[in-house]
Amino acid sequence: MMTAHRSLLAFGLVFLAGTGGVFAQSSRPVRNATPAARPAGDRTPPARFSDPDRASRLAAAFPEIDKAFLAFAQAPNVPGVAWGVIIDGALVHSGATGVRDTASNAKAMPDSVFRIASMTKNFTAMAILKLRDQGKLSLDAPAARYVPELLGIRYPTADSAVITVRHLLTHSAGFPEDNPWGDRQLAETDETLSRWMKAGFPFSQAPGMGYEYSNTGFAILGQIITRVTGMRARDYIDREILKPLGMTSTKWEGSAVPGDRIARGYGRIDNEWVAEKPLSDGSYGPMGGLYSSVPDLARLVSLYLSAYPPRDDDDHGPIKRSSLREMQMPYSPYRSTALRATVNSPLALSSGGYAFGLAASQTCRFAHSVSHGGGLPGYGSQMRWLPEYGVGIVALANGTYASPGRPVNEALEALARTGALNPRVPQPGAELLKTKAAVDGLIAQWSDAGLQKIAAMNLLLDRSLDRRRREFEALRERHGECRATSPIDAENALRGRWALTCERGQVKVSVTLAPTLPPTVQYLETSSVLPPSEGLTRVAGAILQSINEGGRLSESLISLSAPPDVAGQIEASRAYGTCAQGDVVSGGGESATVRLKCERGNLDARLTVDAAGLLTGLRISPASGEVCAP
């Protein structure tokens, strides 16, 4: 039985400022400089969503998301599972299925509390970054500065780098991967961990040489927090992070969770659910000790999403927005993969690395995805969000290592299929808008002084003023009068492109400003787009029909001088799915590039026809800007 509810109210977060504590012996404050204020006209405008109805359109995916989690729970993978969808800082949909307690058959609810295991690591990392921002530690200082037990550690080679705080944060300290051993150390005492550090650890590789997941590394980070602040790491995280975020259901011990909300952990033995004995929170708690709920984790995900885009708004914390973004950038790289789920499935790219208590990855669909999973005896969890898209998914389960990663990814795919899951659009800076107006004016009426006024020192060295004048005069002769009818398509605040609609076709313009104040034009290119000829239009339509319907292009449309691989290019294009014809993106007349908008990406078809309208040249390639092929 499933229960579900929606809440369209954003979380009101109240943050606390200030911290006490003591400095570790021999540590020196290292404070980050506060950026100088910039004039209003010189500030970078934040990217923004262009669709005002995106939230309501994305809501169409909620039934499909529920089905994905129901299918996961019915495998059977878990006694119970709860999930939630976060959009623009609000938990907008949540659901649950199964039971939180098999003995009483009590139903799992969206606010049931599960152990989140290694998802705890991001809280530990956040505490470290907060202390760094306060000047109380340095990420690049030797860890032994704060935990002297590491001073005598025996490194694997004579030329090994010394373990730093950053190494511990990013699983690159060289310690061996310690799952599932580390999962059983949660309740160990600080004294035991201190003894282990004095004795030293084996190394699988030299520090800084690569990623290897280490629960022990995060246990040591917990000790660093304790030594720097003079209080237990869990107490510091409670005071500085959980309380300011209003995460009132997030606890370090299961006994602190009300009995009518706790989701008890189970393992599957001989087709029966058997209760797992919960481990207490101890010295390894900073790597995986917390319990939490979907609503609480939605507050956490909303905090990370709120760090984007960079902007001038007041920064309230509990840690700086810039530090939150820093936590979400890959540092210790994973090995990239490009695989197919089945031999006839689309190619799937995955790359990225471990950040600070979080994983950051890139796929063909999403350029920046942030996540972390958790697994312990009795529990499995996953959270994933897309910073530039403003959405996230959290899911919690009460089965041993039963990761809900697949339905989380299916939920994001369901959101994408609505057509409303699009990233923020970069906005042009004031200087870029001024440059656009100046260039539009030059196309309408040339002026040597007008170009010299906006040109960077390289522009007229790269191509002379005389040559630039002739190019602009040729544009007017070819196209007639032009009008600036389209807004600038900004790649960032200082680079963009736009089109002018003319009596005959279009003029496309692309500019990049130089790194000077005020910014001037270092790159300026124009191109002509003219209407295609009747023959080219006819051949383009036939090629599109052949791609979609599986037939061969009629021989009556192909010149004897056409390349021999016309049929092969059309056949290969079918991997992109059904296509629709888009705009002519360059050229015109009897030689043009036509954009094909397909299900699995866009294609550019460069066609040339002769005077009789017969195909003489064809080159179909992934469209400009595409990053992956199916």
Parallel/antiparallel/unpaired status of strands 379-386 and 369-376: antiparallel
Strands (E), 413-554: 482-483, 489-492, 495-502, 506-513, 521-532
Q: How confident is the model at residue 77 (pLDDT cuts 50, 70, 90)?
A: confident
Query: Which candidate, 162, 216, 170, 169, places its Cα nearest to that of 194?
Result: 216
- pLDDT tens by residue, 484-527: 888 999 999 999 999 999 999 999 999 999 999 999 999 999 99
Q: Any idea of the CA torsion for 33, 39, 40, 43, to the nearest 10 degrees?
A: -50
The residue ranges of every structural domain in the chain are: 2-7+62-310+325-417, 430-530, 533-622
pLDDT score, position 485: 86
Q: Is the pLDDT of residue 4 over 50?
A: no
- What class, spelled out in words, does domain 533-622 have in CATH? alpha beta
- pLDDT tens by residue, 20-32: 333 333 334 444 5
Q: Which two tokens stand for residue 93?
A: 């949909």
| Domain 2-7+62-310+325-417: homologous superfamily in CATH | DD-peptidase/beta-lactamase superfamily (3.40.710.10)
Please identify which residue in the block is written with the tokens 């530039």. Answer: 388
CA atoms of 241 and 238, how far apart (whole Å): 6
- What class, spelled out in words, does domain 430-530 have in CATH? alpha beta
Q: How confident is the model at residue 345 (pLDDT cuts 50, 70, 90)?
A: confident
- What is the residue-averaged pLDDT of the chain? 93
Parallel/antiparallel/unpaired status of strands 291-292 and 332-333: unpaired
Same fold: 2-7+62-310+325-417 with 430-530: no
- pLDDT tens by residue, 232-272: 999 999 999 999 999 999 999 999 999 999 999 999 999 99
- pLDDT tens by residue, 602-622: 999 999 999 999 999 999 999
**DSSP label of 42:** G
pLDDT score, position 627: 82
pLDDT score, position 628: 81
* pLDDT average, residue stretch 337-347: 84
Displacement of CA 451 from its chain's centroid (Å): 39
Any residues with CB less than 8 A from the CB of 167 and at least 6 apart, and which? 143, 161, 173, 174, 207, 208, 217
Whether 110 and 96 have beta carbons less than 8 Å apart is answered as yes
Q: Is the pLDDT of residue 284 over 60?
A: yes
Alpha helices (H) along 497-565: 534-549
Parallel/antiparallel/unpaired status of strands 506-513 and 495-502: antiparallel
Integer distance in angstroms from the first to the last C-alpha of the chain?
Answer: 38
pTM above 0.85, yes or no: yes
Specify the long-range contacts of residues 548-553, CB closer than 8 Å, at least 24 apart: 548/578, 548/579, 550/574, 553/615
Q: Which two tokens stand for residue 281?
A: 């929170």
- pLDDT tens by residue, 373-415: 999 999 999 999 999 999 999 999 999 999 999 999 999 999 9
- pLDDT tens by residue, 294-309: 999 999 999 999 999 9
CA atoms of 263 and 260, how far apart (whole Å): 9
Any residues with CB less than 8 A from the CB of 33 and at least 6 apart, and which? none
Q: Is the pLDDT of residue 12 over 60?
A: no
CA atoms of 177 and 23, how far apart (whole Å): 31
pLDDT score, position 346: 76
pLDDT score, position 79: 97
pLDDT score, position 348: 85
Instruction: Give strand pairing partners of 81.
Output: 97, 397
Give the C-alpha distances (Å, rounded to integers) separating 509 from 495, 499, 523: 11, 6, 10
CA atoms of 201 and 75, how far apart (whole Å): 40
Whether 82 and 393 have beta carbons less than 8 Å apart is answered as no
Buried (b) or exposed (e) across 205-241, using 16+ Cβ within 10 A?
bbbbbbbbbbbbbbbbbbbbbbbbbebbbbebbbbbb
Q: How confident is the model at residue 626 (pLDDT cuts 50, 70, 90)?
A: confident
